[in-house]
Chain A
Protein backbone atom coordinates (compact mmCIF):
# COMPACT_ATOMS: atom_id res chain seq x y z
CA UNK A 1 0.00 0.00 0.00
CA UNK A 2 1.29 3.45 -0.89
CA UNK A 3 0.78 6.40 1.40
CA UNK A 4 -0.35 9.67 -0.05
CA UNK A 5 2.25 12.45 0.24
CA UNK A 6 0.06 14.29 2.71
CA UNK A 7 -0.23 11.22 4.96
CA UNK A 8 3.48 10.46 4.90
CA UNK A 9 4.16 14.10 5.67
CA UNK A 10 1.84 13.85 8.68
CA UNK A 11 3.51 10.67 9.88
CA UNK A 12 6.96 12.19 9.47
CA UNK A 13 6.05 15.34 11.36
CA UNK A 14 4.44 13.36 14.19
CA UNK A 15 7.42 11.01 14.38
CA UNK A 16 10.02 13.78 14.39
CA UNK A 17 8.06 15.80 16.89
CA UNK A 18 7.67 12.82 19.24
CA UNK A 19 11.36 11.94 19.14
CA UNK A 20 12.40 15.54 19.71
CA UNK A 21 9.94 15.81 22.58
CA UNK A 22 11.23 12.59 24.17
CA UNK A 23 14.82 13.84 23.95
CA UNK A 24 13.98 17.22 25.41
CA UNK A 25 11.74 15.60 28.01
CA UNK A 26 14.47 13.28 29.29
CA UNK A 27 16.94 16.16 29.45
CA UNK A 28 14.56 18.44 31.27
CA UNK A 29 13.59 15.65 33.64
CA UNK A 30 17.21 15.04 34.63
CA UNK A 31 17.86 18.72 35.19
CA UNK A 32 14.59 19.20 37.09
CA UNK A 33 15.24 16.11 39.20
CA UNK A 34 18.72 17.26 40.21
CA UNK A 35 17.60 20.81 40.86
CA UNK A 36 14.57 19.66 42.88
CA UNK A 37 16.75 17.50 45.11
CA UNK A 38 19.67 19.92 45.28
CA UNK A 39 18.38 23.47 45.26
CA UNK A 40 16.74 23.35 48.75
CA UNK A 41 20.23 22.81 50.18
CA UNK A 42 21.92 25.51 48.11
CA UNK A 43 22.07 28.33 50.60
CA UNK A 44 24.41 31.27 50.89
CA UNK A 45 26.28 29.35 53.60
CA UNK A 46 26.67 26.38 51.24
CA UNK A 47 28.23 28.62 48.60
CA UNK A 48 30.43 30.66 50.88
CA UNK A 49 31.69 28.25 53.54
CA UNK A 50 34.39 25.62 53.59
CA UNK A 51 33.37 21.98 53.99
CA UNK A 52 33.57 20.37 57.44
CA UNK A 53 33.77 16.71 58.39
CA UNK A 54 34.85 15.66 54.86
CA UNK A 55 31.94 17.55 53.35
CA UNK A 56 29.18 16.16 55.52
CA UNK A 57 28.68 19.68 56.82
CA UNK A 58 29.57 23.15 55.62
CA UNK A 59 29.75 24.34 52.05
CA UNK A 60 31.68 24.10 48.82
CA UNK A 61 33.43 27.46 48.49
CA UNK A 62 37.00 26.09 48.03
CA UNK A 63 35.60 23.55 45.59
CA UNK A 64 33.97 26.23 43.45
CA UNK A 65 37.28 28.10 43.45
CA UNK A 66 39.16 24.91 42.55
CA UNK A 67 36.76 24.10 39.71
CA UNK A 68 37.02 27.57 38.22
CA UNK A 69 40.81 27.51 38.48
CA UNK A 70 41.28 24.07 36.91
CA UNK A 71 38.78 24.62 34.09
CA UNK A 72 39.70 28.28 33.56
CA UNK A 73 43.41 27.59 33.37
CA UNK A 74 42.73 24.63 31.10
CA UNK A 75 40.79 26.84 28.67
CA UNK A 76 43.46 29.54 28.82
CA UNK A 77 45.99 26.94 27.70
CA UNK A 78 43.85 25.05 25.21
CA UNK A 79 42.10 27.94 23.42
CA UNK A 80 45.17 29.71 21.98
CA UNK A 81 46.93 26.44 21.11
CA UNK A 82 43.80 25.03 19.50
CA UNK A 83 42.92 28.16 17.54
CA UNK A 84 46.50 28.58 16.30
CA UNK A 85 46.67 24.92 15.26
CA UNK A 86 43.39 25.22 13.38
CA UNK A 87 44.49 28.41 11.64
CA UNK A 88 47.73 26.74 10.65
CA UNK A 89 45.85 23.72 9.27
CA UNK A 90 43.38 25.77 7.27
CA UNK A 91 45.33 28.84 6.17
CA UNK A 92 49.00 28.01 6.18
CA UNK A 93 49.31 24.51 4.79
CA UNK A 94 48.09 22.92 1.65
CA UNK A 95 45.96 19.84 2.15
CA UNK A 96 48.28 16.86 2.27
CA UNK A 97 49.47 13.88 4.26
CA UNK A 98 50.58 16.00 7.20
CA UNK A 99 47.26 17.80 7.63
CA UNK A 100 45.39 14.51 7.24
CA UNK A 101 47.54 12.94 9.97
CA UNK A 102 47.04 15.89 12.33
CA UNK A 103 43.28 15.82 11.74
CA UNK A 104 43.12 12.08 12.24
CA UNK A 105 45.10 12.48 15.45
CA UNK A 106 42.73 15.15 16.72
CA UNK A 107 39.71 12.97 15.95
CA UNK A 108 41.26 10.02 17.77
CA UNK A 109 42.08 12.19 20.79
CA UNK A 110 38.44 13.26 20.94
CA UNK A 111 37.35 9.65 21.33
CA UNK A 112 39.75 8.60 24.10
CA UNK A 113 38.08 8.02 27.49
CA UNK A 114 38.88 10.69 30.02
CA UNK A 115 40.36 8.22 32.52
CA UNK A 116 43.14 7.53 30.01
CA UNK A 117 43.87 11.26 29.83
CA UNK A 118 43.86 11.23 33.63
CA UNK A 119 46.35 8.41 33.74
CA UNK A 120 48.60 10.14 31.22
CA UNK A 121 48.36 13.43 33.11
CA UNK A 122 49.18 11.66 36.36
CA UNK A 123 52.23 9.91 34.94
CA UNK A 124 53.50 12.76 32.78
CA UNK A 125 52.53 16.07 34.44
CA UNK A 126 52.27 14.99 38.08
CA UNK A 127 55.19 12.57 38.27
CA UNK A 128 57.59 13.00 35.33
CA UNK A 129 57.41 16.81 35.26
CA UNK A 130 57.13 16.87 39.04
CA UNK A 131 54.05 19.09 39.12
CA UNK A 132 52.37 16.76 41.61
CA UNK A 133 48.64 16.56 42.17
CA UNK A 134 47.93 20.20 41.45
CA UNK A 135 45.69 22.63 39.63
CA UNK A 136 48.28 23.04 36.89
CA UNK A 137 48.52 19.26 36.32
CA UNK A 138 44.73 19.09 36.10
CA UNK A 139 44.52 22.12 33.82
CA UNK A 140 47.15 20.75 31.43
CA UNK A 141 45.32 17.42 31.29
CA UNK A 142 41.98 19.12 30.64
CA UNK A 143 43.63 21.28 27.99
CA UNK A 144 44.71 18.12 26.13
CA UNK A 145 41.13 16.87 26.29
CA UNK A 146 39.71 20.15 25.03
CA UNK A 147 42.13 20.54 22.14
CA UNK A 148 40.40 18.26 19.61
CA UNK A 149 37.05 19.99 20.05
CA UNK A 150 38.56 23.45 19.80
CA UNK A 151 40.67 22.55 16.76
CA UNK A 152 37.79 20.96 14.88
CA UNK A 153 35.20 23.64 15.63
CA UNK A 154 37.66 26.43 14.82
CA UNK A 155 38.59 24.71 11.57
CA UNK A 156 34.95 24.49 10.53
CA UNK A 157 34.33 28.11 11.48
CA UNK A 158 37.41 29.32 9.59
CA UNK A 159 36.55 27.27 6.51
CA UNK A 160 33.08 28.80 6.47
CA UNK A 161 34.50 32.32 6.03
CA UNK A 162 33.72 33.28 2.41
CA UNK A 163 36.58 33.15 -0.06
CA UNK A 164 35.53 36.60 -1.22
CA UNK A 165 36.76 38.15 2.03
CA UNK A 166 40.15 36.55 1.61
CA UNK A 167 40.43 37.72 -1.99
CA UNK A 168 39.40 41.23 -1.02
CA UNK A 169 42.04 41.34 1.69
CA UNK A 170 44.80 39.95 -0.52
CA UNK A 171 43.63 42.24 -3.31
CA UNK A 172 44.33 45.22 -1.07
CA UNK A 173 47.86 44.01 -0.48
CA UNK A 174 47.47 42.57 2.99
CA UNK A 175 49.74 39.81 4.19
CA UNK A 176 48.26 36.43 5.03
CA UNK A 177 48.64 37.13 8.72
CA UNK A 178 46.79 40.43 8.45
CA UNK A 179 44.05 38.69 6.50
CA UNK A 180 43.76 35.97 9.16
CA UNK A 181 43.69 38.29 12.16
CA UNK A 182 41.66 41.18 10.76
CA UNK A 183 39.12 39.36 8.63
CA UNK A 184 39.03 35.58 9.01
CA UNK A 185 39.20 35.24 12.79
CA UNK A 186 36.78 38.12 13.23
CA UNK A 187 34.10 36.59 11.10
CA UNK A 188 34.78 33.09 12.43
CA UNK A 189 34.60 34.25 16.03
CA UNK A 190 31.04 33.09 16.85
CA UNK A 191 31.93 29.57 15.71
CA UNK A 192 35.20 29.59 17.61
CA UNK A 193 33.52 30.81 20.80
CA UNK A 194 30.89 28.09 20.47
CA UNK A 195 33.63 25.46 20.32
CA UNK A 196 35.38 26.91 23.34
CA UNK A 197 32.15 27.07 25.34
CA UNK A 198 31.39 23.46 24.51
CA UNK A 199 34.80 22.43 25.75
CA UNK A 200 34.47 24.52 28.91
CA UNK A 201 31.28 22.64 29.64
CA UNK A 202 33.04 19.37 29.10
CA UNK A 203 36.03 20.25 31.27
CA UNK A 204 34.04 21.75 34.13
CA UNK A 205 32.09 18.54 34.53
CA UNK A 206 35.11 16.28 34.04
CA UNK A 207 35.67 13.88 36.92
CA UNK A 208 38.04 11.01 36.24
CA UNK A 209 40.81 13.04 34.64
CA UNK A 210 40.94 15.64 37.40
CA UNK A 211 40.76 13.07 40.17
CA UNK A 212 44.03 11.59 38.96
CA UNK A 213 45.77 14.91 38.31
CA UNK A 214 44.39 17.71 40.50
CA UNK A 215 43.76 15.54 43.54
CA UNK A 216 40.81 15.88 45.87
CA UNK A 217 42.04 18.26 48.54
CA UNK A 218 39.35 20.14 50.42
CA UNK A 219 41.37 23.21 51.36
CA UNK A 220 41.19 26.53 49.56
CA UNK A 221 43.95 26.44 46.89
CA UNK A 222 46.49 29.23 47.30
CA UNK A 223 48.28 28.82 43.97
CA UNK A 224 48.11 26.79 40.79
CA UNK A 225 50.61 24.34 42.30
CA UNK A 226 48.21 23.38 45.09
CA UNK A 227 45.91 20.41 44.76
CA UNK A 228 42.20 21.12 44.49
CA UNK A 229 38.86 19.36 44.23
CA UNK A 230 36.33 20.11 41.52
CA UNK A 231 32.54 20.16 41.87
CA UNK A 232 32.02 17.07 39.77
CA UNK A 233 34.56 15.14 41.79
CA UNK A 234 33.06 16.42 45.03
CA UNK A 235 29.69 15.17 43.91
CA UNK A 236 31.19 11.79 43.09
CA UNK A 237 32.88 11.49 46.48
CA UNK A 238 29.83 12.72 48.42
CA UNK A 239 27.57 10.15 46.80
CA UNK A 240 29.99 7.26 46.20
CA UNK A 241 31.38 7.27 49.73
CA UNK A 242 27.95 7.80 51.24
CA UNK A 243 28.95 11.00 52.97
CA UNK A 244 25.86 13.06 52.26
CA UNK A 245 23.31 12.70 49.48
CA UNK A 246 21.85 16.14 50.18
CA UNK A 247 25.28 17.78 49.81
CA UNK A 248 25.86 15.70 46.69
CA UNK A 249 22.66 16.95 45.05
CA UNK A 250 23.34 20.50 46.17
CA UNK A 251 26.77 20.27 44.53
CA UNK A 252 25.22 18.89 41.35
CA UNK A 253 22.71 21.74 41.33
CA UNK A 254 25.52 24.28 41.64
CA UNK A 255 27.40 22.57 38.81
CA UNK A 256 24.41 22.61 36.48
CA UNK A 257 23.68 26.25 37.27
CA UNK A 258 27.34 27.14 36.71
CA UNK A 259 27.36 25.51 33.27
CA UNK A 260 24.11 27.25 32.40
CA UNK A 261 25.56 30.58 33.50
CA UNK A 262 28.76 30.13 31.50
CA UNK A 263 26.80 29.25 28.38
CA UNK A 264 24.48 32.21 28.75
CA UNK A 265 27.42 34.52 29.35
CA UNK A 266 29.29 33.22 26.32
CA UNK A 267 26.27 33.58 24.04
CA UNK A 268 25.62 37.05 25.35
CA UNK A 269 29.19 38.14 24.66
CA UNK A 270 29.02 36.52 21.24
CA UNK A 271 25.74 38.16 20.27
CA UNK A 272 27.02 41.53 21.30
CA UNK A 273 30.13 40.99 19.22
CA UNK A 274 28.23 39.74 16.20
CA UNK A 275 25.78 42.62 16.41
CA UNK A 276 28.71 45.01 16.37
CA UNK A 277 30.44 43.36 13.43
CA UNK A 278 27.53 42.81 11.07
Chain B
Protein backbone atom coordinates (compact mmCIF):
# COMPACT_ATOMS: atom_id res chain seq x y z
CA UNK B 1 0.00 0.00 0.00
CA UNK B 2 1.23 3.48 -0.91
CA UNK B 3 2.16 5.54 2.17
CA UNK B 4 0.19 8.69 2.96
CA UNK B 5 2.99 10.19 4.99
CA UNK B 6 6.58 9.13 4.72
CA UNK B 7 9.72 10.40 6.43
CA UNK B 8 13.20 9.61 5.19
CA UNK B 9 16.26 10.28 7.33
CA UNK B 10 14.36 12.82 9.43
CA UNK B 11 16.51 14.64 11.97
CA UNK B 12 15.34 17.50 14.15
CA UNK B 13 17.34 19.61 16.54
CA UNK B 14 16.24 22.26 19.02
CA UNK B 15 19.49 24.21 19.22
CA UNK B 16 21.94 21.60 20.53
CA UNK B 17 19.30 19.09 21.53
CA UNK B 18 18.89 16.26 19.03
CA UNK B 19 15.17 15.50 19.33
CA UNK B 20 14.59 13.21 16.35
CA UNK B 21 17.32 10.87 15.13
CA UNK B 22 17.17 9.57 11.61
CA UNK B 23 13.49 8.67 11.71
CA UNK B 24 12.07 6.62 8.84
CA UNK B 25 8.39 5.88 8.98
CA UNK B 26 5.69 5.24 6.39
CA UNK B 27 2.13 5.94 7.56
CA UNK B 28 -0.49 4.06 5.55
CA UNK B 29 -3.68 5.86 4.48
CA UNK B 30 -7.15 5.52 6.04
CA UNK B 31 -6.15 3.83 9.25
CA UNK B 32 -5.00 4.75 12.72
CA UNK B 33 -1.31 4.83 13.48
CA UNK B 34 -0.27 5.25 17.12
CA UNK B 35 3.03 6.68 18.32
CA UNK B 36 3.93 5.61 21.84
CA UNK B 37 6.93 6.13 24.08
CA UNK B 38 7.92 7.75 27.37
CA UNK B 39 7.76 11.53 27.91
CA UNK B 40 10.38 13.43 25.97
CA UNK B 41 10.97 10.64 23.46
CA UNK B 42 10.10 12.93 20.55
CA UNK B 43 6.68 11.57 19.67
CA UNK B 44 4.90 14.93 19.78
CA UNK B 45 7.81 16.52 17.96
CA UNK B 46 7.48 13.95 15.17
CA UNK B 47 3.73 14.59 14.99
CA UNK B 48 4.33 18.31 14.72
CA UNK B 49 6.64 17.79 11.77
CA UNK B 50 3.78 16.47 9.66
CA UNK B 51 1.95 19.81 9.58
CA UNK B 52 5.08 21.89 10.13
CA UNK B 53 3.90 23.21 13.51
CA UNK B 54 7.54 23.10 14.59
CA UNK B 55 8.18 26.00 12.22
CA UNK B 56 6.66 28.24 14.90
CA UNK B 57 9.46 27.45 17.34
CA UNK B 58 12.70 29.34 17.09
CA UNK B 59 16.00 27.49 16.77
CA UNK B 60 14.50 24.36 15.20
CA UNK B 61 16.59 22.72 12.51
CA UNK B 62 15.20 19.95 10.37
CA UNK B 63 17.07 17.67 7.94
CA UNK B 64 15.70 14.85 5.87
CA UNK B 65 12.51 14.50 3.99
CA UNK B 66 8.80 14.26 4.77
CA UNK B 67 6.46 13.40 1.95
CA UNK B 68 2.71 13.78 1.85
CA UNK B 69 1.43 11.80 -1.13
CA UNK B 70 4.91 11.86 -2.67
CA UNK B 71 5.28 15.65 -2.35
CA UNK B 72 8.01 16.99 -0.09
CA UNK B 73 6.23 19.19 2.48
CA UNK B 74 9.42 21.08 3.28
CA UNK B 75 10.03 22.01 -0.34
CA UNK B 76 10.11 25.68 -1.15
CA UNK B 77 6.90 25.86 -3.13
CA UNK B 78 4.84 24.12 -0.44
CA UNK B 79 1.97 26.39 0.61
CA UNK B 80 1.96 26.17 4.39
CA UNK B 81 -1.68 27.18 4.77
CA UNK B 82 -2.78 24.56 2.27
CA UNK B 83 -0.59 21.94 3.95
CA UNK B 84 -2.22 22.60 7.32
CA UNK B 85 -5.61 22.45 5.74
CA UNK B 86 -4.80 18.97 4.41
CA UNK B 87 -3.05 17.87 7.60
CA UNK B 88 -5.07 19.01 10.60
CA UNK B 89 -4.25 18.75 14.27
CA UNK B 90 -6.17 17.98 17.48
CA UNK B 91 -4.42 19.14 20.62
CA UNK B 92 -3.91 17.74 24.07
CA UNK B 93 -6.29 20.11 25.78
CA UNK B 94 -9.52 20.94 23.95
CA UNK B 95 -8.91 24.42 22.59
CA UNK B 96 -12.07 25.79 21.03
CA UNK B 97 -11.94 29.48 20.21
CA UNK B 98 -13.88 31.79 22.54
CA UNK B 99 -16.57 32.01 19.87
CA UNK B 100 -19.91 30.35 19.34
CA UNK B 101 -20.19 26.67 18.42
CA UNK B 102 -21.10 27.63 14.86
CA UNK B 103 -18.27 30.12 14.45
CA UNK B 104 -15.77 27.57 15.74
CA UNK B 105 -16.71 25.01 13.11
CA UNK B 106 -17.06 27.63 10.39
CA UNK B 107 -13.67 29.17 11.22
CA UNK B 108 -11.58 27.00 8.92
CA UNK B 109 -13.96 27.36 6.01
CA UNK B 110 -14.00 31.11 6.37
CA UNK B 111 -10.23 31.27 6.73
CA UNK B 112 -9.96 29.42 3.44
CA UNK B 113 -12.15 31.91 1.69
CA UNK B 114 -15.64 30.44 1.80
CA UNK B 115 -18.17 33.27 1.86
CA UNK B 116 -21.54 31.87 0.86
CA UNK B 117 -23.50 31.37 4.05
CA UNK B 118 -25.62 28.38 3.02
CA UNK B 119 -22.42 26.56 2.01
CA UNK B 120 -20.87 27.34 5.37
CA UNK B 121 -24.05 26.26 7.14
CA UNK B 122 -24.02 22.94 5.30
CA UNK B 123 -20.31 22.40 6.03
CA UNK B 124 -20.89 23.08 9.73
CA UNK B 125 -23.78 20.65 9.80
CA UNK B 126 -21.79 17.92 8.03
CA UNK B 127 -18.83 18.42 10.35
CA UNK B 128 -20.99 18.27 13.47
CA UNK B 129 -22.74 15.16 12.17
CA UNK B 130 -19.39 13.50 11.52
CA UNK B 131 -18.48 13.90 15.20
CA UNK B 132 -22.03 13.11 16.35
CA UNK B 133 -22.49 16.49 17.97
CA UNK B 134 -25.25 17.66 15.65
CA UNK B 135 -28.19 16.13 17.51
CA UNK B 136 -27.00 17.58 20.82
CA UNK B 137 -26.11 21.01 19.59
CA UNK B 138 -28.26 21.77 16.56
CA UNK B 139 -30.50 24.09 18.60
CA UNK B 140 -27.62 25.67 20.45
CA UNK B 141 -25.26 26.61 17.64
CA UNK B 142 -24.92 30.14 18.95
CA UNK B 143 -23.93 29.13 22.46
CA UNK B 144 -20.35 29.88 23.51
CA UNK B 145 -18.12 26.89 22.81
CA UNK B 146 -16.34 27.31 26.14
CA UNK B 147 -19.56 26.36 27.96
CA UNK B 148 -19.53 22.85 26.49
CA UNK B 149 -18.28 19.85 28.49
CA UNK B 150 -14.64 18.87 27.92
CA UNK B 151 -15.70 15.91 25.78
CA UNK B 152 -17.98 18.08 23.66
CA UNK B 153 -15.20 20.63 23.34
CA UNK B 154 -12.78 18.00 22.05
CA UNK B 155 -15.44 16.73 19.65
CA UNK B 156 -15.97 20.30 18.54
CA UNK B 157 -12.25 20.68 17.88
CA UNK B 158 -12.42 17.57 15.72
CA UNK B 159 -15.48 18.96 13.90
CA UNK B 160 -13.61 22.17 13.34
CA UNK B 161 -10.93 20.17 11.52
CA UNK B 162 -13.31 17.92 9.64
CA UNK B 163 -15.07 21.02 8.31
CA UNK B 164 -12.06 21.93 6.16
CA UNK B 165 -12.02 18.41 4.70
CA UNK B 166 -8.48 17.43 5.58
CA UNK B 167 -6.80 14.19 4.56
CA UNK B 168 -4.78 13.55 7.69
CA UNK B 169 -5.76 14.08 11.33
CA UNK B 170 -2.88 14.44 13.77
CA UNK B 171 -3.96 13.87 17.37
CA UNK B 172 -1.61 14.86 20.15
CA UNK B 173 -2.84 12.95 23.21
CA UNK B 174 -6.42 13.97 22.44
CA UNK B 175 -7.88 12.25 25.52
CA UNK B 176 -5.40 13.23 28.21
CA UNK B 177 -7.74 15.92 29.57
CA UNK B 178 -10.79 13.69 29.49
CA UNK B 179 -12.30 11.16 31.89
CA UNK B 180 -12.36 7.43 30.96
CA UNK B 181 -15.94 7.48 29.67
CA UNK B 182 -15.31 10.49 27.43
CA UNK B 183 -12.07 8.84 26.33
CA UNK B 184 -14.05 5.79 25.24
CA UNK B 185 -16.42 7.96 23.24
CA UNK B 186 -13.60 9.76 21.47
CA UNK B 187 -11.94 6.44 20.65
CA UNK B 188 -15.18 5.20 19.07
CA UNK B 189 -15.34 8.38 17.08
CA UNK B 190 -11.75 7.90 15.89
CA UNK B 191 -12.51 4.38 14.72
CA UNK B 192 -15.35 5.76 12.61
CA UNK B 193 -13.27 8.60 11.21
CA UNK B 194 -10.50 6.20 10.18
CA UNK B 195 -12.69 5.06 7.29
CA UNK B 196 -12.17 8.42 5.64
CA UNK B 197 -9.05 9.88 7.19
CA UNK B 198 -5.48 8.96 7.88
CA UNK B 199 -5.11 9.35 11.64
CA UNK B 200 -1.87 9.59 13.55
CA UNK B 201 -2.28 9.63 17.32
CA UNK B 202 0.35 10.27 19.95
CA UNK B 203 -0.58 8.72 23.23
CA UNK B 204 0.80 8.09 26.67
CA UNK B 205 -1.73 5.44 27.20
CA UNK B 206 -0.59 2.04 25.90
CA UNK B 207 -4.03 0.49 26.29
CA UNK B 208 -5.39 3.23 24.10
CA UNK B 209 -2.82 2.54 21.41
CA UNK B 210 -3.60 -1.15 21.60
CA UNK B 211 -7.35 -0.51 21.40
CA UNK B 212 -7.56 1.97 18.56
CA UNK B 213 -4.57 1.66 16.28
CA UNK B 214 -3.77 -0.61 13.40
CA UNK B 215 -0.06 0.00 13.54
CA UNK B 216 2.13 1.29 16.33
CA UNK B 217 5.44 3.11 16.42
CA UNK B 218 7.56 2.98 19.57
CA UNK B 219 9.96 5.84 20.14
CA UNK B 220 12.72 6.25 22.69
CA UNK B 221 15.11 9.19 23.14
CA UNK B 222 14.50 10.45 19.62
CA UNK B 223 14.88 7.07 17.94
CA UNK B 224 12.10 5.25 16.20
CA UNK B 225 12.80 1.88 17.81
CA UNK B 226 10.14 -0.20 16.18
CA UNK B 227 7.19 0.21 13.87
CA UNK B 228 4.74 -2.48 12.87
CA UNK B 229 1.22 -3.89 13.23
CA UNK B 230 -0.13 -3.01 16.67
CA UNK B 231 -0.91 -6.60 17.46
CA UNK B 232 2.66 -7.70 16.87
CA UNK B 233 4.22 -4.72 18.71
CA UNK B 234 2.27 -5.61 21.83
CA UNK B 235 2.53 -9.40 21.66
CA UNK B 236 5.90 -10.19 20.11
CA UNK B 237 8.05 -7.08 19.85
CA UNK B 238 11.30 -7.56 17.96
CA UNK B 239 13.30 -5.14 20.07
CA UNK B 240 14.14 -5.66 23.72
CA UNK B 241 13.47 -1.98 24.49
CA UNK B 242 9.98 -2.19 23.01
CA UNK B 243 9.28 -5.27 25.04
CA UNK B 244 10.42 -3.57 28.23
CA UNK B 245 8.19 -0.59 27.53
CA UNK B 246 5.01 -2.39 26.53
CA UNK B 247 5.30 -4.76 29.46
CA UNK B 248 5.61 -1.78 31.74
CA UNK B 249 9.17 -2.29 32.85
CA UNK B 250 9.89 1.42 32.39
CA UNK B 251 8.38 4.60 31.02
Q: Which residues of A contact B (CB under 8 A)?
A: 94, 162, 164-165, 167-175, 178, 182-183, 186-187, 277-278
Contact = CB atoms under 8 A, between A and B. Distances in A.
A278 B51 CA distance: 29
A278 B80 CA distance: 30
Majority-rule SS of A interface residues: helix
Given A94-B58, A183-B97, 15 more contacts: A164-B91, A165-B95, A168-B96, A168-B160, A170-B56, A170-B84, A171-B51, A172-B85, A172-B160, A172-B161, A173-B108, A174-B107, A182-B110, A182-B111, A186-B99
Interface of B: 51, 53, 56, 58, 80-85, 88-89, 91, 93, 95-99, 107-108, 110-112, 144, 146-147, 157, 160-161, 164
Contacts of A169: 97, 107, 111
Contacts of B146: 278
A278 B91 contact: no
A14 to B, nearest CB: 40
A174 B111 contact: yes
Contacts of A172: 84-85, 88, 107-108, 111, 160-161, 164
A187 B84 CA distance: 23
A167 B95 contact: yes
Majority-rule SS of B interface residues: helix
Contact of B95 (A164, A173, A182): A164
A143 B99 CA distance: 32
Given A278-B144, A278-B146, A170 B53 contact: yes
Contact of B98 (A170, A173, A178, A277): A277
Contacts of A182: 107, 110-111
Nearest to A278: B144
A162 B95 contact: yes
Given A94-B58, A168-B157, A182-B107, A278 B98 contact: yes
- B82, B107, B147, most chain A CB atoms within 10 A: B107
B84 A164 contact: no
A138 B89 CA distance: 51
Nearest to A172: B108
The 9 A-B residue pairs whose C-beta atoms are closest, nearest first, are A164-B95, A173-B85, A173-B84, A171-B89, A172-B108, A174-B111, A173-B81, A168-B95, A278-B144
20 contacts: A162-B95, A164-B93, A165-B95, A168-B91, A168-B96, A169-B97, A169-B107, A170-B53, A170-B84, A171-B53, A171-B91, A172-B84, A172-B160, A173-B80, A173-B108, A173-B112, A174-B107, A186-B98, A277-B99, A278-B146
